[in-house]
Copies of this chain bind each other. A is one copy, B any other.
Amino acid sequence: MAESIAADTGRDARPARLEALRNAVEKAHLDGVLLTGLANIRYLTGFSGTSALLFVSQRDAIFLTDFRYETQAAQEVGAIAQVQIEAQSLWARLWALLPTLTGLDVLGFESTHIEHRDFQRLLEAGSRWQGRPTVDLVETLRERKDAGELALIQRAADVACDALAATLPQLHEGMSELAVAGVLERCLREAGSEGFPFPTIVASGERSALPHARSSRRELRRGDFLLLDFGAEVDGYCSDITRTFVIGRASAEQRDFYEIVREANRLAASAVHAGMKGRDADALARDYIEGCGHGPLFGHSLGHGIGLEVHEAPRLARTAEGVLSLDSVVTIEPGIYRPGWGGVRVEDDVHLSTRGPQLLTRFPRELTELA
């Protein structure tokens, strides 16, 4: 089995990442690659803004952004790439730049991070080079987290758990889902979250059966399931956690329903490991839920990788043939949903280490009745 992560927290990881990308670029027989995916650009350069293009060849690393990020780009990116600030159009600047680079015949571009219109511009401007689509060139590198990244995801998980603990005593019957979201989000900020990786899901009563509800004006009532699905962000790295509660006393039916999901979560979170296929991980929970007769109520996949994005490689799903990488971090989130009645999901973040699965989200999973 491969060695575990190096204890390199605090060291600048970017030169090694750029080196790994350059190796991948060479292997793919490209003279250079244009990166347009912002999470990929952040991974390679540290840039935390929302407007950038990055060109990387064996010799160059050129970073383009706009006026708004002039100061920030110099601070964040200056040490790793040549920063160019553009007042009007990043793409126009790119077309002016590329012809000045020698030896650029085959230019890779990110097929899943470039919209058709920009691809057309690449074609039109590109009489001098040949464009070649690439898929997951940087995403593959990002799958295996280093010690620094794992520490940040652990902090994001801790922030989420701390915020949830601070939230629960403030919840009561009669509050709207929106108000619940307000309390939770404020606790996330106070615990140190830089942002919300995705819109907070607060789904109560029959709305808990909507696997992708947001938050509404519905008010909490006794006997409701209350499903909270949210995350925190620390230095760009995300956590993603779901807990489901009951307002007041849980009925026997709610309890049985809940325990099926909790057990499916436990089975998967304790057995998932690097080297297995995504579909075999998915089956750890799905087989159990199907055995309980609730297979049709578990309509989504078991989980997904997290890191700089809240959804990234690998996938844990019925159709996922890929093998889970060592030192990837994945969510384990089985759920069952009975339309018009209610639903339960229990989600944790798990690091796939050499020592097996390590739970990062340590919030209790026992069914909790909120007063």
Chain A residues proximal to chain B, CB less than 8 Å: 48-50, 67-72, 87-88, 109, 111-117, 119-120, 133, 135, 178-179, 181-183, 185-190, 192-196, 199, 209-217, 299-300, 319, 339
Partner of A115, one of B49, B111, B193: B111
Q: Once the chains bind, are B68 and A211 in contact (CB under 8 Å)?
A: yes
* Given A116-B111, A116-B116; A212-B68 close (CB under 8 Å): yes
Smallest beta-carbon distance A217→chain B, Å: 7
Q: How far is the CA of A338 from the CA of B39 in the complex (A)?
A: 29
List B contacts of A88 (CB < 8 A): 319
* Selected A-B contacts with CB under 8 Å, 8 pairs: A67-B299, A68-B211, A87-B299, A109-B116, A111-B116, A112-B117, A185-B185, A194-B216
Q: How far is the CA of A216 from the CA of B135 in the complex (A)?
A: 34
List B contacts of A212 (CB < 8 A): 49-50, 68-69, 72
Choose among A68, A116, A199 the residue with the greatest number of B CB atoms under 10 Å from its CB: A116
Q: Once the chains bind, are B117 and A116 in contact (CB under 8 Å)?
A: no
List B contacts of A300 (CB < 8 A): 67-68
Q: How far is the CA of A195 from the CA of B214 in the complex (A)?
A: 9
Q: How far is the CA of A285 from the CA of B210 in the complex (A)?
A: 47
Q: How far is the CA of A216 from the CA of B194 in the complex (A)?
A: 7
How many copies of this kind of chain does the complex include? 2
Q: Once the chains bind, are B67 and A211 in contact (CB under 8 Å)?
A: yes
Q: Once the chains bind, are A189 and B194 in contact (CB under 8 Å)?
A: no
Q: Once the chains bind, are A120 and B115 in contact (CB under 8 Å)?
A: no
Q: Once the chains bind, are A114 and B111 in contact (CB under 8 Å)?
A: no
List B contacts of A319 (CB < 8 A): 88
* Given A88-B319, A115-B113, A120-B133; A339-B299 close (CB under 8 Å): no
Q: Once the chains bind, are A179 and B185 in contact (CB under 8 Å)?
A: no
List B contacts of A113 (CB < 8 A): 115
Smallest beta-carbon distance A103→chain B, Å: 24
Q: How far is the CA of A98 from the CA of B339 in the complex (A)?
A: 30
Q: How far is the CA of A195 from the CA of B217 in the complex (A)?
A: 12
Q: How far is the CA of A133 from the CA of B121 in the complex (A)?
A: 13
List B contacts of A299 (CB < 8 A): 67-68, 70, 87
Q: Once the chains bind, are B192 and A182 in contact (CB under 8 Å)?
A: no
Q: How far is the CA of A211 from the CA of B69 in the complex (A)?
A: 7
Q: Once the chains bind, are A195 and B185 in contact (CB under 8 Å)?
A: no
Q: How far is the CA of A142 from the CA of B114 in the complex (A)?
A: 24
Smallest beta-carbon distance A46→chain B, Å: 15
Known: A72-B213, A119-B119. 4 other contacts (CB 8 A): A68-B210, A88-B319, A111-B116, A182-B190
Partner of A71, one of B69, B87, B210: B210
